[in-house]
Amino acid sequence: MNNTNGKKAYVKKMFSELAPDYDRLNRIISFNSDRRWRRRTVQALFGRKIVLDLCAGTGDMAKALLSDSRFQGMVVLSDFALPMLKLALKKLKKFQGRVFLICADAEKLPFKLEVFDGAMLGFSLRNLENLNAFAREVSRVLQPGGAGVFLEIAHPSNGLWGKLFYAYFYQLMPRMAGIFTRHSQAYRYLPESLKIFPPQKEVAALFAREGFCESRYENLWGGMAAIYNVKK
């Protein structure tokens, strides 16, 4: 699943170049709703001690988790695009001592077995080359009882709502990105990545097959996005 030759190199280069504009564009194309979705996603990790933020980018998932006083643990951010991580480091300065960053491939993690009791990811399942490899790696580095929570753009179930959403995501959003940034090519890639990404049920079933005893999803905004909750 999700196996496209050279995808990894393409994605790494794309996000490395996009880094300075990434946050601003996210706010614009999601009409600021990404922040609300992130806050909701990270709730599943309150009470955890050491959480791995996969494909962490500029650190918005980590920021959502660390900014809530119900979370007192540490976050290890990992991403293979260094320019994205550098921005995360700046953004998370005030959480110094609770934040660690590492440049790494999410499909081949440089961690020992069962190091983390929580894992999270925002908007990057679609970008992975091999979702099965990712799921196996997350399962490997999570302790038994560890929780994973992954937020991703998804496929709305309702016909009319789906049509509206796809019209926005496939047609309007790349044009908006073209107006607000030099990176319209990147935002033409993103709709394509959703076209080949499986529906929520299949993604949840994949996690269940790849080492998680619990795997379920919750739709947000009628399935425009989904939160996948897994437990090892």
Ligand X SMILES: C[S@@+](CC[C@H](N)C(=O)[O-])C[C@H]1O[C@@H](n2cnc3c(N)ncnc32)[C@H](O)[C@@H]1O
Give the footprint of ligand X on this chain (CB under 6 A). 8, 11-12, 15, 55-57, 60-61, 79-81, 84, 105-107, 122-124, 127-128
User: In terms of CB distance, is 57 or 156 closer to ligand X?
Assistant: 57
Q: Residue 30: phi, psi to the nearest 5?
A: -100, 5
- In angstroms, what is the minimal distance from the CB of 124 to ligand X? 4
Three-state DSSP state, 116:
strand
User: In terms of CB distance, is 147 or 149 closer to ligand X?
Assistant: 149
- In the block, which residue shows the tokens 């990270």? 42
3-state DSSP percent of the chain in helix, strand and coil, to 5: 50, 20, 30
User: In terms of CB distance, is 161 or 189 closer to ligand X?
Assistant: 189
User: In terms of CB distance, is 117 or 137 closer to ligand X?
Assistant: 137
- In angstroms, what is the minimal distance from the CB of 18 to ligand X? 8
- In angstroms, what is the minimal distance from the CB of 223 to ligand X? 19
- In angstroms, what is the minimal distance from the CB of 186 to ligand X? 10
Q: How far apart are CA 91 and CA 88, in angstroms?
A: 5
Three-state DSSP state, 62:
helix
Work out the number of other CB atoms within 10 angstroms of the CB of residue 29: 20
